[in-house]
Amino acid sequence: AQKVTQAQTEISVVEKEDVTLDCVYETRDTTYYLFWYKQPPSGELVFLIRRNSFDEQNEISGRYSWNFQKSTSSFNFTITASQVVDSAVYFCALREYGNKLVFGAGTILRVKS
């Protein structure tokens, strides 16, 4: 069965520090998709990025970057020079064939000024 593990329950950093959120997944499918979502204190879920299992290229978007490694079944998310506005709960998710999307437990990120 598919499973997503976010081992870091909560992380606290000081503004401008870099921070990496870990995500490890389990799946028996060869075709799957990985996602990251952000949930700010206001509560809505905001889509950040998706990656399919055939594309191991890392991606950078501004201060955000993602490192996908099939060899270790990981899809880690790094925020460079963190800001207070980055404070949120971040969810990693896995989608297999059939559309079921399974979420990790989430990592609470607190960025202090």
7 binds other proteins (CB under 8 A): no
Contact 11, 107 (CB under 8 A): yes
What are residue 72's phi and psi, to 5 degrees? -115, 5
Taking CB under 8 A as the criterion, which residues in 77-96 touch other proteins? 91, 95-96
103 binds other proteins (CB under 8 A): yes
106 binds other proteins (CB under 8 A): yes
64 binds other proteins (CB under 8 A): no
Report d(CA 86, CA 109) in Å as an integer.
7
Contact 77, 66 (CB under 8 A): yes
Taking CB under 8 A as the criterion, which residues in 22-61 touch other proteins? 31, 33, 35, 43-45, 47, 50, 52
Residue count, binding to other proteins (CB under 8 A): 24
Burial letters for 9-33: b for 16+ Cβ neighbours within 10 Å, e otherwise?
eebebeeeeebebbbbbebeeeebb
**Smallest distance from other proteins to CB 103, Å:** 4
Task: Give residues in contact with other proteins (CB under 8 A).
Answer: 4, 6, 9, 31, 33, 35, 43-45, 47, 50, 52, 91, 95-97, 99-106
